[in-house]
Amino acid sequence: MVLWRKFFRSGVVIVLLLGSAATNAWGQASGGGITSFGGELRGMTQLTGEIVCVECSLEEARAAQPNPRDLYLLQHEDEQVVIRVDSFSDPAQAFWWESIVGLSHRLTTRASERIFEELTAEENLFKEIVLIGLLRSTHTLDISSVWVIG
């Protein structure tokens, strides 16, 4: 009988702890109207820009551009591409971009091979692009799609 009481008390304590943890998680999930995706409380980032160079350094690209502050290096495995960012679809995205990327102007990217091949294709150099992805606080951009305009 004593064994059953201990078992019952332990079960009640476990249920209460699990219930309070689940309630706490639901309370943190709202994010004030910003959608959550992949553990980040920012929505998808959509930017418009131009592919400046492929397999060049950020310093080389800056030397050849009149406005070097808008250039960003995207590194993907053993490849890299420098893009010039012209605009974002939402001003909040520009704020997040600047606060995460900061002065380094370098991002690690994760994308399918097809998407990164489209970014690095020679025929797409100096063409306008629309890039959509999830910018993470770890200086990583998960690219979901790229459109080449023109």
- pLDDT band at residue 11, thresholds of 50, 70 and 90? low
pTM of the model: 0.71
CA dist., res. 90 & res. 94, Å (int): 7
Helix (H, G, I), strand (E, B) or coil at 106: strand
* Sheet strands (E) in the chain: 45-54, 71-76, 79-88, 106-110, 128-136, 140-149
* pLDDT for res 103: 85
Residues 6+ apart with CB under 8 A from 84: 49, 50, 52, 65, 67, 70, 71, 72
Helix (H) / strand (E) containing 140: strand 140-149
Q: Which two tokens stand for residue 113?
A: 């091979």
- Asked if 135 and 141 touch (Cβ cutoff 8 Å), the reply is yes
Cα 87 to Cα 90: distance, rounded to the nearest angstrom: 9
Q: Which residue has the higher pLDDT, 7 or 97?
A: 97
Helix (H) or strand (E) holding 23: helix 2-28
pLDDT confidence tier of residue 14, bands split at 50, 70 and 90: low
Q: What is the pLDDT of residues 19-78, one digit of tens each?
A: 544 444 333 333 333 444 454 556 899 999 999 999 999 999 999 987 778 999 999 999
